[in-house]
Structure 1
Amino acid sequence: MKILYTILCGICLLYSGFAFGQEAVVTGRLLDGDSQQPLPGVSVRVKGTQQGVSSDVDGSFRLSLKSTPATIIFSYIGFESQEKEIQGSGSLGDFIMKPSLIFMADQVVISGTRQAEKITKTPATIQLINSKSIEELPSFNPGELLSRVKGVEFVRSGVIGTGINIRGFNSNFNSKNLQVNDGRFATLIATGLPLGPLSTFIKEDIDRVEVILGPNAALYGPNAHNGLVNTIMKDPRASQGTTIALGAGNQNMLTARVRHAQVLNDKFAFRVSGEYTKGTEFDFVDSVYMIRGGSLGAYEELELDNDFSFLKGNASLVYNITERAELVATWGGSNTTYLAPTNVGRNQIKDWKINHYGLKLISEHWFAQAYYTTSKTDSTYSIDERTKQYYRGIDSGLTDNQARGAFSYQSGALFIDDSRRLNGEIQYNNSLGKLNIVVGAQGQRDMANSHGTYLLDKDEDDYITINQFGVYGQFDYDLGNGFKLTAVARGDYHEVYEFNFVPKAGLVKSVGKDGAIRLTYSKGIAAPTILNMYGNLFNGLILGNAEGFTLNDGSAVEKQKVEEIQTIELGYKGKLNNRLYTDINAYYNKSKNFLSPVTVVGVATERGDQPMSEVQDGYGVYGGLVATYVNFGEVNTFGFDIGLNYQLMNHLTLDFNYSFFDYSVDEDDLDNDFDKDGKVTKLDILVNSPKNRAGLGLNYSGNKFFGTVFARWVEEYDYFSSFQIAAKSQPELSYRGVPIKENARSADTWNYGPLGGFVDVDLSLGYHIIQNKLSLSGQVTNPFDAEFREFTASPFIGRLYSVQLKLDLPAISKKTSK
């Protein structure tokens, strides 16, 4: 931390001494080419620098330039990006922005190479949720927009629970898709799961979301394995003003959100935001199975709390060191209560608190950041295990109150988390003729603590500490004739899994004015999480596998390895004509060393070199019987995605996407026999993904009205994840020792039948009561109230509707440039 601080200070002093040329002031007013109405919020930036402003509510802007000549770039969602050469001070008068809803080829992204570049030129399959889609969504939950993204397997696990998977192998504890928020890893420290509902940002703070399909570990490190979701926040200097949003809906949903951003002077700008949302989950009571009195019975979850709530806050302060360098200090916090599906029933998340603190330096050639994340809860618990312990208490003669009290948590139901994470990164980029270079280093120190409740730590002073370090280098070279070559190499050192090499290479060929063909190779890795390595669930019935086990027959269970995937991908992205934009890609993956869901491996005598009697809290009950996580198998997966966007007329577009996914496995290779029954079946390779899915949407975004009709079809598919099962009847196969039968008990859970097999519809409509100031909008999901279930350990999804009133107030003072 001291080293990084020294680097930051040194770079700040270096840039503070720079001087630049002749100053100039440029003014103008930006107008909609169709309506001739003023355009507020247009980004006005100096090409090649950090300098820029956004237009005021009347479309006017005033930009101070440190030197001329210079090129100004005007960009705004729904309009073509335009450039203007500036020779000195003056007024541009009324500057016309040309409307175009087929603007995708002009979009700039950063996730593919960690540099700003047109989306068509990046050597990765990137899907973009833009600011207009986010602003016009009449919901507090921006995660709902992921259902409309090509190549993403979207699931809804309740009123607020939304999740994604990319290219197969989903589970109820899926940590293979990395979530990044403005360059900060937004994952839980001990489990590696995306924060999801625990996230600290609010919808009004989001500028855009970039989704990478496929591995991108070379630049982002372990666990950017199947994909990456990068949420990019608004710059307060380009988004001044105050936004207040109030919403209500069924399921007792109420939400209030506020955001304010302001430029104080040429040096300082800030933003603050907050949200409070509450509601009630759909009615659903899962069955808990246990043996009582010698017979197996089904019992309702104990004391189920269907209420959810979110309290979130964010703040950011920007300091302009010079024209080309800035410091950004950030804080975010949340307190969340909700029901979460897991591999073993559901967890009652109670007052789970996330806080993060960060400092970033951004300049023309340097980027450096350090951030600190904390995770804390002392009352979250496993509903399934608490229910079982309650009935054990009743059977032992306890009163109802006694059995519901502290006793109900004594078998390992309670989860306490008091974990911390420290991250640091430094990066340098430059151009040498046709060669662009990015080199960097990242460090991460995880300090997990469960007070001895679900990890192999002993108490609140015993932290499980894991250090990781990675260095990477990226080289882009312009080969001429429209060809660009990208090569990336990364070396990662993990304290438990030691060194891993992660390469990536891409070749992009520009086609016409607004298109490109790309061919890429990339490798991804997924390092086991702290829970996988050092878990201690339900008094040691489930233990982490960082050191391996010795079984009572003398055989060994090897310690976990890093999971690997290698991908070859071919794609095209661009405009076929002025109205049609297309994005097509095909891929082939080779995966090995799958990390299994939790599975029983047998009776163990030792974990590593430690006797099980010293490790397993419940040794007197289990006698060394243990479940853990193991590596197995090698599978090839393949598929393709098609996305089409057609502009029917100004302000009206038709969107279509389709995805196909399948796999192949060597059935003669018994390394793929995960359940060790002597043959390789579908139950050994838990793909857990639909083979076909598609979406069709009609979007209107006019001066007064805006709205969307979107239909999503998901093919029926079988799903298995540890205790969880959702599958059609297959009496020839058994899962966890029980024949697979639909609408029947399957070991420890009820099989309601396969997932998917539905068409879901979203409808939204909004009206600008006062242009750019006041809007009223509403949304209905599943308007026909069709009963379907998208995920295991989750309710059947009913109709959801909500309304939102949003007020946008202009900035207190005129915007000034950076």
Structure 2
Amino acid sequence: MRLYLLFLTLFFCSISFAQNSIKGVVTDENNQPIPGASIKVSGSNEGTTSDYDGSFVLVTKQAPPFSIDITAVGHASSSVNVESVSQKIQVKLSSEETKLNEIVVSASRAPERVLQSPVTIERMGIAQVKSTTAPTFYDGLENLKEVQFNTSSISFKTVNTRGFAAVGNTRFMQLVDGMDNSSPALNFVLGNLIGLSDIDVASVELLPGASSALYGANAFNGILFMNSKNPFTYQGISSYVKYGQTSQDVAGTNDYFDMGIRAATAFNKYFAVKANFNYMKATEWIADDRRSVTGGSIGHDGNQNYDGLNIYGDEVTTFINNVGQVSRTGYREKDLNDNKVNSVKADFSLHIRPWADDTEIMLQYKLGLGNTIYQGANRYALNDFFMSQTKIEIKGKNFFARAYQSSEDAGNSYDMRFAGWNVQRAAKSDTNWFTDYATSFQLSSAVLGLNADQAANYARSFADTNVSPGLNLVPNTDPTNPSAPRNARFEPGTPEFTSALNAVKSNPDFTQGAKFTDRSKIYHSDVNYNFKDLIKFAEIQVGGSARQYEMNSNGSIFTDYDGPIRYNEYGVYTQGSKLFMEDRLKVVASVRYDKSQNFDGNVSPRVSFVYSAGAQKNHNFRASYQTGFRNPTTQDQYIGLDLGPFALIGSAPENLVRYSEIRNVSAAGQAAGAAATVPMNGTNAYNNSYTLTSVQAFGAALSANPSDVAGAAALLKSANVRLVRPEEVKAYELGYRAVINNDLSVDLNGYYNQYNHFLNTSRVAGVYYGDVNTAINLSDPLSPVYALARSDRRIYQVYSNTSADVASLGFGVGLSKKVYKNFELGANYNYSQLDFDQSQDPGFVTGFNTPKHRVKASLGNTRLFKNFGFNTNVRWNSEYLWQSSFADGMIPSTTVVDAQINYAVPTCKLLFKVGATNIGGKDYIQVIGAGSIGQQWFASLTINP
């Protein structure tokens, strides 16, 4: 920290100015200042922005006369001639509804108006960042049309557009300054961990829907672009500080703190530098859902096989004769981590314009580290998690080329389910615990005369307190008596518990510990060239990308126990666009070819039509056909993770034999002639297994009628899992955008998506002996049917594609209008529907995880009176089914109200802001198994140059 502050001090002291400084002020037609207006020298990249009082200082090497262009969101643009350096520029901009006239780049990789974009697009600019009702701009994305959030932690939120999303959303791509900030190991975005801060956001663009024709694999259901401020344009020192509190039923009321600083300067027209630093800390939305995964009542009192959703260790269970199925006691999630969240983000960049024109070279380094919680198959405490990106890029008027590396280090991260298991095993082994339970149950019934419920509760108390071997029917845990048995369960908060948990968190062996190791990397490069200055009949672009994945988990996540696993992929594309019918009809067509090392090549075409009607071309109709594809992730291909009750095995052909384990055969199986132990690997999971649903049906039938083995066996269905391949989507979209009477914005869209080879996971049961692909022979004592009856089987989660038809459809309506003076009212509605016949693939889990109905509305006024503004947002969604490898369940319908007020002090360059989220609402959830989201209020002070 001291070195960083020293660097900033030296950095700030080096600020120098060019020769000519042009001063001025920008106001609206009511003489109110317009902050954040863009002022640029015509035909040049030299520019600046206006302060909160509308004033600006434009530094340029150009000598008058020249002209400057002034633009601001919500106002018509203007140009002014500068005749002398001493001239005081006064610009008055007229109000105009320009939300749909803003310029975007992402939809076609070329500048165009939002109004004429060939696909649906949403945008957030500097003005929207200032007026957001959320604590950060990234949180504020939830108020955009088409966006749904999945919140795993107060600092880990992921974007979902058009369905099929989990906490780790591998179907959605997020680019920060052109870099994919997905996790190199698991290939999904970690929220804003290594993103941008509020004071460095220049613009955010969101493309919901398939975008693979331009952006390749994983731009499947949407892509988010976050662009930072260029130091040539946005100079000076900016900072902010936020303080607030969070309130949740489980966690109570806790402090929230966030601060950041940005420094940027252009030494001259050739060199500029920028640095950012951000720090945030808060208390987690604590997950404490105690519903029983195994059914029955909540708690072990009355339900001896209780498995609480956010209780870990109670998944360890066994069947005890004359008692039934019994689980260990376990620990609540809130006791297995400190529930503190912190985040540090920093980035440094050098910008060079070697010829003082639009060609720019950028060297950039970004890092993010901190603590948060991620939910996948289990719940993971990401402690001291670190991710960095290093980039070199050169871009000009018609081209760019960039190369970057993404690296991550899991730090002291650990799996909380394994932490619960192994902390309790440190006190007493599973064998000893269940033995003590069974013995105590039988003796307490016979000797003490307890009924079944009383005996069960007594047996649990005894097994949790008595030290094996030996048995005392009246446990003695008096700490003052050295001869008393040591407590065999470490109670949370005790030194024994803390010591055991620390030991488990630092041990990467999942049989004893919970720590996972990850130092994976991504190496990526891409290029693009636009021939518009060389080819006149149409605008033609070509480009391509190449990427290498390097998995390095030392065998703790992937099967890379003998060294890092690497594989490559690349893609090339071209796009052409042309105007017809007096520039009213725009046709855009593109095609991309991608090839991954492990799969066949994939072709992704796209074609779209935009027709602009009306005298001012303000009525725009569009139609598009797009395709998308998604390569199986590194996890889909190379994971090899023993999660206890089941194991995850990736589908790459070489991975099937890379994952192996030794399993113990039951005494009954050994008596029938099986070996005491058997080796099991991925081949057993993919080629010699039954579907888990049929195994469960077999078990239920056999339990109901133990003598009818043949009848139960008839229910079994071999899995025959095919190896995974890329999934594809064909997307059809219609839309209409318009600006009516200069104050009403209308945005309509509808889509239909058809998915082929939809990627999914399945649970299967691999047998220890016998062949599931041959006819059942009940006379064979080593038949796979008997292996299942003796529980000589292993549950695996495997990765494959469904052959079933999967489709989704939806539509959206967005309206925005100035209703009175400067009051702006906005509203939008989205409908989403899954189209899938479960009977085609009974075991397939779609994980659509999207409400059918969503409504959002806003009311705000950026200039309610002088220097004062406010904004409010309300969101509502209908209930929907959540499906994931961690847990399934219904997400209730929710209404959330957020609001903020802000006051500017232009003379001091200050902006005060007070806001609150979930005002007056109850705690609500967005993810089954994650913490409920409570209320949050915050007050911030921002200083801008």
Q: Would the TM-score normalized by the shorter structure come out above 0.5?
A: yes
State the SS of the aligned residue for 1:329: strand
Distance in 2 (CA, whole Å) between partners of 1:574 and 1:434 is 28
Aligned to 1:585: 749
State the SS of the aligned residue for 1:414: coil
State the SS of the aligned residue for 1:391: helix
Unaligned runs of 5+ in 2: 1-18, 246-253, 289-309, 320-325, 430-467, 469-487, 491-495, 657-682, 690-717, 771-790
Equivalent position to 2:510, from 411, 418, 442: 411
Aligned to 1:688: 849
User: Cα–Cα, structure 1 residues 171 and 605, in superposed 2: closer, same or farther, change >3 Å?
Assistant: farther
Aligned to 1:610: none
Distance in 2 (CA, whole Å) between partners of 1:455 and 1:536 is 5
State the SS of the aligned residue for 1:174: coil
User: Cα–Cα, structure 1 residues 36 and 455, in superposed 2: closer, same or farther, change >3 Å?
Assistant: same
Report whether the alignment pairs 1:773 with 2:898: no
Report whether the alignment pairs 1:382 with 2:415: yes
**What displacement does 1:298 show?**
5.5
User: Cα–Cα, structure 1 residues 90 and 704, in superposed 2: closer, same or farther, change >3 Å?
Assistant: closer
State the SS of the aligned residue for 1:133: helix
Distance in 2 (CA, whole Å) between partners of 1:771 and 1:67 is 29
Report whether the alignment pairs 1:521 with 2:554: no
State the SS of the aligned residue for 1:528: coil
Aligned to 1:563: 727
The farther-off stretch of 283-292 and 183-192 is: 283-292
Equivalent position to 1:429, from 530, 552, 560: 530
**Which one-letter code corresponds to 2:510 in the other structure?**
S
User: Cα–Cα, structure 1 residues 88 and 807, in superposed 2: closer, same or farther, change >3 Å?
Assistant: closer
- Aligned-residue CA RMSD (Å): 2.8
Aligned to 2:448: none
Aligned to 1:763: 899
State the SS of the aligned residue for 2:810: strand
Distance in 2 (CA, whole Å) between partners of 1:546 and 1:706 is 56
Aligned to 2:315: 290
**Which one-letter code corresponds to 2:797 in the other structure?**
A
Distance in 2 (CA, whole Å) between partners of 1:511 and 1:65 is 43
Aligned to 1:673: 842
Distance in 1 (CA, whole Å) between partners of 2:762 and 2:370 is 26
Distance in 2 (CA, whole Å) between partners of 1:97 and 1:130 is 21
Aligned to 1:446: 549
| Contact 2:157/2:190 (<8 A) preserved | no
Distance in 1 (CA, whole Å) between partners of 2:207 and 2:345 is 27
**What displacement does 1:115 show?**
1.2
Distance in 2 (CA, whole Å) between partners of 1:115 and 1:258 is 32
Equivalent position to 2:282, from 261, 264, 279: 279
Report whether the alignment pairs 1:75 with 2:63: no
Distance in 1 (CA, whole Å) between partners of 2:794 and 2:285 is 39
Distance in 2 (CA, whole Å) between partners of 1:647 and 1:142 is 23
Distance in 2 (CA, whole Å) between partners of 1:447 and 1:605 is 36
**What displacement does 1:330 show?**
1.0
Percent sequence identity is: 24
User: Cα–Cα, structure 1 residues 605 and 775, in superposed 2: closer, same or farther, change >3 Å?
Assistant: farther
Count matched residues: 731
1:140-289 aligned at under 5 Å gives the runs 141-250=136-245, 251-285=254-288, 286-288=310-312, 289=314
**What displacement does 1:75 show?**
1.6
1:544-570 Cα distance to aligned partner (Å, 9 max, x none) = 112264433686321111111110101
| Contact 2:826/2:858 (<8 A) preserved | yes
User: Cα–Cα, structure 1 residues 48 and 658, in superposed 2: closer, same or farther, change >3 Å?
Assistant: farther
State the SS of the aligned residue for 2:729: strand
Unaligned runs of 5+ in 1: 1-23, 607-620, 676-683, 727-753, 811-818
User: Cα–Cα, structure 1 residues 793 and 71, in superposed 2: closer, same or farther, change >3 Å?
Assistant: farther
**Which one-letter code corresponds to 2:409 in the other structure?**
K
Distance in 2 (CA, whole Å) between partners of 1:149 and 1:394 is 50
Report whether the alignment pairs 1:508 with 2:605: no
User: Cα–Cα, structure 1 residues 236 and 97, in superposed 2: closer, same or farther, change >3 Å?
Assistant: farther
Report whether the alignment pairs 1:807 with 2:943: yes
State the SS of the aligned residue for 2:735: strand
User: Which structure shows the bigger proportion of residues in helix conformation?
Assistant: 2
User: Cα–Cα, structure 1 residues 311 and 605, in superposed 2: closer, same or farther, change >3 Å?
Assistant: farther
**What displacement does 1:423 show?**
1.1
Report whether the alignment pairs 1:789 with 2:789: no
**Which one-letter code corresponds to 2:857 in the other structure?**
L
1:120-139 aligned at under 5 Å gives the runs 120-137=115-132
User: Cα–Cα, structure 1 residues 716 and 188, in superposed 2: closer, same or farther, change >3 Å?
Assistant: same
Equivalent position to 1:367, from 370, 390, 400: 400
TM-score after normalising by structure 2? 0.73
| Contact 1:157/1:794 (<8 A) preserved | yes
| Contact 2:731/2:751 (<8 A) preserved | yes
| Contact 1:123/1:486 (<8 A) preserved | yes
**What displacement does 1:291 show?**
3.4
**Which one-letter code corresponds to 1:274 in the other structure?**
F
**Which one-letter code corresponds to 1:645 in the other structure?**
S
User: Cα–Cα, structure 1 residues 54 and 407, in superposed 2: closer, same or farther, change >3 Å?
Assistant: closer
1:380-779 aligned at under 5 Å gives the runs 380-396=413-429, 400=490, 401=496, 403-406=500-503, 409=507, 410-411=509-510, 413-431=514-532, 432-458=535-561, 462-481=563-582, 482-512=584-614, 513=616, 514-538=618-642, 541-547=647-653, 549=683, 550-552=686-688, 556-597=720-761, 599-600=763-764, 602-603=766-767, 625-632=795-802, 633-666=804-837, 670=840, 672-675=841-844, 684-702=845-863, 703-726=866-889, 754-770=890-906, 773-779=909-915
**What displacement does 1:162 show?**
2.4
The farther-off stretch of 715-724 and 155-164 is: 155-164
User: Cα–Cα, structure 1 residues 653 and 163, in superposed 2: closer, same or farther, change >3 Å?
Assistant: same
**What displacement does 1:629 show?**
1.7
User: Cα–Cα, structure 1 residues 72 and 546, in superposed 2: closer, same or farther, change >3 Å?
Assistant: farther
**Which one-letter code corresponds to 1:81 in the other structure?**
S
1:76-95 aligned at under 5 Å gives the runs 76-83=72-79, 94-95=89-90
Distance in 2 (CA, whole Å) between partners of 1:139 and 1:656 is 17
User: Cα–Cα, structure 1 residues 320 and 795, in superposed 2: closer, same or farther, change >3 Å?
Assistant: same
| Contact 1:445/1:468 (<8 A) preserved | yes
Structure label with greater radius of gyration: 2
| Contact 1:596/1:629 (<8 A) preserved | yes
| Contact 1:642/1:659 (<8 A) preserved | yes
State the SS of the aligned residue for 2:426: helix
1:187-230 Cα distance to aligned partner (Å, 9 max, x none) = 00111110214224322111111110101111111000000011
| Contact 1:605/1:624 (<8 A) preserved | no
User: Cα–Cα, structure 1 residues 722 and 298, in superposed 2: closer, same or farther, change >3 Å?
Assistant: farther
TM-score after normalising by structure 1? 0.84
| Contact 2:202/2:228 (<8 A) preserved | yes
Distance in 1 (CA, whole Å) between partners of 2:553 and 2:424 is 26
User: Which structure shows the bigger proportion of residues in strand conformation?
Assistant: 1
User: Cα–Cα, structure 1 residues 405 and 326, in superposed 2: closer, same or farther, change >3 Å?
Assistant: closer
Aligned to 1:729: none
Aligned to 1:115: 110
**What displacement does 1:81 show?**
2.6
User: Cα–Cα, structure 1 residues 545 and 428, in superposed 2: closer, same or farther, change >3 Å?
Assistant: same
**Which one-letter code corresponds to 1:116 in the other structure?**
P
User: Cα–Cα, structure 1 residues 25 and 399, in superposed 2: closer, same or farther, change >3 Å?
Assistant: closer
Distance in 2 (CA, whole Å) between partners of 1:573 and 1:225 is 24
Equivalent position to 2:360, from 311, 326, 329: 326
1:283-335 Cα distance to aligned partner (Å, 9 max, x none) = 43322332356403563235222001011111122111221311111111111
Distance in 2 (CA, whole Å) between partners of 1:594 and 1:486 is 28
User: Cα–Cα, structure 1 residues 47 and 589, in superposed 2: closer, same or farther, change >3 Å?
Assistant: farther
